[in-house]
Structures are given as structure tokens and as C-alpha cells.
Amino acid sequence: MSMPDLSIIIVDDLQFSRIVVKTALKKAGYKGVRMADSATMALDMMAEQPADVILADWMMPEMDGLQLTDHIRQQDEEDGTYTAIILFTANEGVEYMVQAFEHGVDDYLRKPPNPHELSARVNAAARIAAMQNDLLETSRQMESTIRRLEEVAMIDPLTGAGNQRMLHSELDAHLVQASSRNGGVCVAMVRLNEFDELKQQHSDAITDEILVSLYRRLRRSVRPTDTVTRLEDDMFALVMHHTNVDNFKSSAMERILTSIDQRAIKTQAGDIEVSGAIGVHYYRGDTDLIDKEDMINHAKEKLEQAQQSPEEKIAF
């Protein structure tokens, strides 16, 4: 996307600060720049016309930059989009930067920003948003393909995830390929720790909303080529293949867990806090070929281990 085509919103309760940033962006060639004097106004603007990049002050009355980020990330999740977010702050120290990134902020700039650095950071943030949205579009296209597979009964009708038949089919294909080419296959079993209690507290409609949201979070946290299936109630199985046997990284599981835990799930009954547990079994193609049922059972055993040790949450 070229600079004139970018949609940018500057959010700051101080008019002078807004004008300084807008002037710097205009001089750099950015034309689609809007200004908001509050986080609420920025959210209203985004509802009228989405933004590619949000530039927001950290410290604002009523709703600060981190709270605004949480709202935007929640809306992104619901809309299937990605918005790049840069926060401005006068705060010093690594702890502030870490806090910003943990909330989903893409970049962090000290006030007042250098005009050249500002332009470069906005351009980089726009590229991040474009890449993320391309991946989401690819994922949507793949989900459309998966929906067409309903004709051969490989789709869970509630969530749109694959079902047990798809899990077995994908595992068969990937295990043979990994064995012949020294690749790797990972099966990860995922469950919510609170699901049994939630079923007792809420109606089926609410628990269905939770399951659909869980599937969406899992789908967004893995690669478009990975498979997400639902086996029973809240048990989901992820299948990930690697062309190189050593390409599997445990950090991938940590990223998936973060995607489940970091925000409450919005339902008609209100926001519901959830946390996940993951059991993982990894097959190396340079070892004897494993039976798919054995692999699934190993991953389920690890899941039970993870749920019995909530401080760990992931068992390999």
C-alpha cells in the first residue's frame, strides 16, 4: 500500500501534539490522516472507516493508550482484521516498553517524535498490518475451502473447525511425508481449564459462543497451512507439519497459549475469563513411523498432565 493510500488516525487529548504529528506526516507524503482528541472518538472513527495505523498517546483521560489497544485488538479479532498501533509516551524504562508490547502494541516512540523516525516507523507499521491482513485473507480463503469440505463430512458444524475425520486424514498424509523426507509433525491437544464449570453456569448458547471464539483464536495463532480440528466439547487438536525435522519450536505453543489467555471472551452473558492447557507430541521423521492413534493418545496424555499442573499449562 502506498503512503497516500494509508489510513492513519492520530489520537491525543492535546491539540498541539496532534497537529505536530499530523504536520510531520503530511510533509512525509501521508495524506489519509485523521485526528481524534480521545480514544472514544478514535474508536468511533474506526467504526466509520477502518484505519491501517493508529498513533496514540499513552497517557489520556478516560481511556489511555493501552486500554485503546485492548479495544482495537478485540475489534480486530471480531472483524478478522489487523490494525497497526504505535504508542507515544514520555515514560522511560524497559518496563514500559515491555508493558506496551504485552498489550499488543506494534511500536513505541518517545515524545516528541523525530519527524524522520516517525515516518519510518509508520511505514514499517503499515507493512506489518498489510502482511497480517494478507495472512488473514489467506486464512479466510482456506476456511472457505474447508467449508466446502462439509460435503464430505470433515467439518465441525458449530465452529467450522475440522472434525476427527479430518484430523486422521491430515495426520496420515503428514506422517507419511515426514517419514519419507525427514520432516516433522506436531499434534497439540488444547482445552479450556474452566469449561466444565462454564457448562454448569451458562446455557448452551453461551458455551457455543465460547467454543467459536476459542476456535477463532486458535486459527489466528497458527499458520494458514496448519490444521485446527475439534474432537469433543472443548478439546481441539492442532496439526502442524515441518519440512525440516528440527524446525519445531516450543515458543509456537507458548504463542498459542497466549492467544487463549490474554483476553476475556465476549459473550451475550458478558466477558468471560478463560485459560488454556496444551498437550504436545512431536514426531520426528528420522525415527520409526508412528501410528496416528498412538500420536493422538500421547498428546491427550500430555494434555491431562498439563491440566493437572496448571502452573505449567503446556506439557511436551
pLDDT tens-digit series, residues 107-119: 888 888 888 898 8
pTM: 0.58
The structural domains of the chain, ordered by start, are: 3-137 (3.40.50.2300), 153-315 (3.30.70.270)
pLDDT tens-digit series, residues 13-63: 999 988 999 999 998 888 889 999 999 999 999 999 999 999 999 899 989
**Average pLDDT rounded to a whole number, residues 96-101:** 80
Confidence at residue 306, expressed as pLDDT on a 0 to 100 scale: 93
Q: Which are the contacts of 229, defined by CB distance < 8 A and separation ≥ 6?
A: 156, 161, 162, 163, 164, 166, 167, 170, 236, 237, 238, 239
Q: How far is residue 203 from each of residues 74, 160, 199, 217, measured CA to CA in Å?
A: 23, 20, 7, 22
pLDDT tens-digit series, residues 160-193: 999 999 999 999 999 999 999 989 999 999 999 9
Q: How far is residue 212 from each of residues 158, 161, 218, 228, measured CA to CA in Å?
A: 7, 9, 10, 12
Confidence at residue 110, expressed as pLDDT on a 0 to 100 scale: 84
pLDDT at 3 over 80: no
**Average pLDDT rounded to a whole number, residues 206-227:** 94
pLDDT at 83 over 60: yes
pLDDT tens-digit series, residues 111-143: 888 888 988 889 898 888 888 888 888 888 887
pLDDT at 148 over 70: no
Please give the share of the chain, as a percent, with pLDDT higher than 90: 60
**Average pLDDT rounded to a whole number, residues 194-223:** 94
Residue with cell 492447557: 277
Confidence at residue 213, expressed as pLDDT on a 0 to 100 scale: 95
pLDDT at 93 over 80: no
pLDDT at 2 over 80: no
Residue bearing the bigger pLDDT, 310 or 224: 224
Per-residue DSSP letter, 291: P
Whole-number mean pLDDT of the chain?
89
Q: How far is residue 273 from each of residues 178, 183, 192, 193, 198, measured CA to CA in Å?
A: 38, 37, 10, 11, 10
pLDDT at 89 over 90: no
Phi, psi of 63 (to 5 degrees): -140, 120
Confidence at residue 150, expressed as pLDDT on a 0 to 100 scale: 59
pLDDT at 258 over 60: yes
Confidence of residue 233 (pLDDT cuts 50, 70, 90): confident
End-to-end alpha-carbon separation of the chain, Å? 41
Confidence at residue 256, expressed as pLDDT on a 0 to 100 scale: 95
Query: Helix 65-79 and helix 94-102: axis angle, to 10°?
Result: 30
Confidence of residue 80 (pLDDT cuts 50, 70, 90): confident
pLDDT at 91 over 80: no
Confidence at residue 312, expressed as pLDDT on a 0 to 100 scale: 82
Cell of 239: 496439526
Confidence at residue 189, expressed as pLDDT on a 0 to 100 scale: 97
